[in-house]
Structure 1
Amino acid sequence: MASVRFNLRLVAQSHWRSVHRWQPKRWLWGRARCCMSSLVGRRVMLTRPASQAQGMAANLAALQAVPILLPVIEIAPLADTSELDNALFALAAYDWLILTSVNGVGAVWDRLAELKVPGLPPALKVAAIGPKTAHGLEQRGIQPDFVPSEYVAEAIYPGLGNVNGKQILLARADIARPALLRLIEQGGGRAVDIAAYRTLPAQADPTGLAELRRGVDVIAFTSPSTVHNFVRLCNGEQLRFPDLPGKPVFAVIGPITAQALADYGVKPDLVAVEYTAEGLVAALLNYFESQPLRNSL
């Protein structure tokens, strides 16, 4: 039975991988080759960590936009891993392991290697949010048992089945929302929520900050933490949010990030239909098809 978890899981999983992982990028590149991009000359500011913004920046550049990096958060290892380590040593006691980001996958597998834990117990099921998280698992030989079609934590819950009496480990950011935890507990499950990594405010990059002061066409937010820390940055730099130079469009990756923006009284100009970086670029293309190109800032 152990060999099964490293081979085929479900035909549906294979279908999900072929449909959802690669098509957005292929479509974007095809759009760049076949016609004039609506993003030509648009200055698009990316607020996620620089190491995770490269793919989106490359897609934007291929569409002749001008990507500008201003990371407002950084991903850091835990200062104390004892709680995570104890949970990983006890993996055999759990029915499900839930990973909500590729950062969580990397952090968990780094600790497994450090602790010399040989791998996941064969009976443990694994759920992942989003194609990049699933891909991170696959790179480590794990086919996720469930990946929801909507890439938010709450969408994991229906795929867990009857959670009554089940032991479920959530390994995620130290600032993760409690919504999924509450759903599991309401269903009679025992959820253990462990921080696998930290999300910290980033030191402002002088080049990116200068570009923000000059003015941009778009500011892209990919998580609630990017919203909160961008506002914090603006306050610290005497920039009036949301009345920023260039009157930028606010673009968000999904409804949870949109709500974070709404908490500051700001309605996003666009919300990606697919909650991925590729989906956000596609949403920007569609949005600007109906917008005239402004003079270069």
Structure 2
Amino acid sequence: MPEYGPLHGETVIFTGTLKSLEVFDLVRQYGGVPVSIPLIQVNEVEEPTDEKRMKTCSDFDWLIFTSQNAVKAFQSKMERFAISVNEIPCKIAAVGTRTAAALEKIGFTVEFIPTVFSADVFVKQFKPTDGELNVLFLKGSLAGSIIREELPFQVVEWTVYETGAKRDSINSLVDLLKSRRDCSVLFASPSAVRVFSEDAVPSVGWSGYTIGAIGHVTERALLEAGATVDVKPEIYTLKELVETLSNRKDEFR
């Protein structure tokens, strides 16, 4: 760890479920101490109808994925029912480069990514010229209705994973915020914001540490909960959030 750096002495707390340790390495590179304390947990939704639904995926013109969690759950179903990428010849849309990378890793070609990695921007920019379309949205249990309601196509939703609170992490997070002087808490979803607001804020409040939001949807959830958002990247990834945090800390040194 560098003796000095923009995050020197800073404890950087990630409240989401990490898909990669790359951001941990980045925090260390800048002299900080990364800590993972997930406030949410994600599980695949398994139903008796899964095999039938998997076999009808090829009937759709497009499949839409808005998170790596959806990709992981979909991949699990593909493996369980021995369905190959070649059997799903649909076009693929992904919200975010990380989601796209996860899809490409299992063999899909991603043909559309919005310029801003959020559903509200996606529905404005996703304008295929293929005429009437039949679209399948692979989603989580807490996903909003904007894709179904605002795309001018026939959109079928399939909930392939569920998100729940991981409240056994709260005590560790509260203790860390109380015991360490320089802390940053990074939020990657409104779900994590909700758990933190309900279970941690009564003990630590919304002040005394730096607050980071991965994008404008999470930022809005924090503002509505009463927080002040100190850091939000222009590109909505955890890596860019750490980079933005580092730049902010560097300015104040």
In the superposition, the TM-score normalised over structure 2's length comes to 0.89
Residue pair 2:63, 2:137 contacting (<8 A) in 1 also = yes
1:239 paired residue number: 203
Match of 2:177 in 1: 212
**Residue identity in the other structure for 2:71:** V
Do the aligned residues in 2 keep the contact of 1:173 with 1:195 (CA within 8 Å)?
A: yes
- The answer on whether the counterparts of 2:103 and 2:109 sit within 8 Å (CA) in structure 1 is yes
Q: Are 2:85 and 2:107, in contact at CA under 8 Å, matched by a contact in 1?
A: no
Q: What is aligned with 1:95?
A: 61
Contact 2:4 2:31 in 1 (8 A): no
Higher mean C-alpha deviation, range 197-206 or range 208-217: 208-217
1:197-223: CA deviation from partner (whole Å, max 9, x where unpaired)? 111111333544421232442111111
Q: Is the 8 A contact 1:126 1:146 kept in 2?
A: yes
Give the counterpart of 1:55 among 22, 35, 48: 22
For residues 166-181 of structure 1, what are the structure 2 equivalents within 5 Å?
166-181=133-148
Instruction: Provide Cα deviations, 1:256-275, integer angstroms capped at 9, x if missing partner.
Output: 11011112132311211110
* Pairwise CA RMSD: 2.3
* Cα distance change on mapping 1:240 and 1:122 into 2, 3 Å: closer
Give the partner amino acid of 1:91: C
Q: Which amino acid aligns with 1:116?
A: A
Count of residues paired in the alignment = 250
- The code of the aligned residue for 1:274 comes to I
Matched, 1:191 2:155: yes
Task: List gaps (5 residues or longer) in structure 1.
Answer: 1-31, 293-297
2:223 paired residue among 256, 262, 269: 262
2:241 maps to: 280
> Where do 1:221-236 residues align within 5 Å?
221-234=187-200
Matches of residues 15-30 of structure 1 in structure 2 within 5 Å?
Answer: none
Matched, 1:41 2:9: yes
CA distance in 2, matches of 1:291, 1:181: 44
* Percent of pairs with identical residues: 22
Q: Distance in 2 between matches of 1:53 and 1:203?
A: 22
2:186 and 2:245 map into 1 onto residues whose CA distance is 10
Which has a greater percent of strand?
2
**Contact (CA 8 Å) 1:128, 1:144: kept in 2 or not?**
yes
Query: What residue number does 1:75 align with?
Result: 42
Distance 1:258 1:278, change over 3 A: same
Secondary structure of the structure 2 residue equivalent to 1:148? coil
Q: Distance in 2 between matches of 1:109 and 1:242?
A: 38
User: Could you tell me how far apart the structure 1 residues matched to 2:121 and 2:20 are?
Assistant: 25
Partners of 2:104 and 2:126 in 1: CA distance: 19
CA distance in 1, matches of 2:86, 2:177: 45
Partner of 1:66: 33
Question: More deviation in 104-113 or 51-60?
Answer: 51-60
Could you tell me how far apart the structure 2 residues matched to 1:148 and 1:281 are?
22
Instruction: Write the distance in 2 (CA, Å) between the matches of 1:111 and 1:289.
Output: 45
Alignment partner of 1:127 is 2:93: yes
- Report what 1:18 is aligned to: none
